[in-house]
Amino acid sequence: MLLSLKSVSLFGIAMALDTLGNVLYKKGMNHFTVSSLSGWQGYWTTIKQALSSKYVFIGVSVLILEAIIWLFFLSITPLNIAAPLSSANNIFILLASSWFLKERVGKKRWIGVALIIFGMIFVGSDYV
């Protein structure tokens, strides 16, 4: 069974939105420090800070849209294909964190990316 153009398109859009949403989360949370308050007071302070960030708000909105797109993708793609392909998200987030957030990515993580790509090809080669 080959994946349809619609299925591949939905997958690509979902991966792009998921990556964008996570980058926005991180960008928004980079402006805050963990509260020195203990217990629920500390957590509540951090939650209020996060909810006041426009990046976090936009990230939540993007990830809600991503979830809707992912549901459409799942409606036309078998789960045993979709689940292994979703590991591509790890690759895209790693690339985005390196490029846009200037995070350092070590050799072990790049080796991990190569293994993920190999695994995706191995598992999905009958469907693409």
Tell me the pLDDT tens digit for each residue of 63-114.
Answer: 999 999 999 999 999 898 888 889 899 999 999 999 999 999 999 999 999 9
**CA 41 from centroid of its chain's CA atoms:** 29
Give the pLDDT band of residue 121 (cuts 50, 70, 90). Answer: confident
Number of domains comprising the chain: 1
| Domain containing residue 50 | 5-124
Residues 6+ apart with CB under 8 A from 54: 28
Note the pTM of the prediction, 2 decimals: 0.83
Is the CB of residue 62 less than 8 Å from the CB of residue 24? yes
Residue carrying the six token digits 């990515």? 105
Per-residue confidence (pLDDT) for residue 51, from 0 to 100: 82
Q: Which amino acid is at 32?
A: F
Question: Which pairs from 42-50 meet CB under 8 Å and 24+ separation?
Answer: none
Per-residue confidence (pLDDT) for residue 98, from 0 to 100: 93
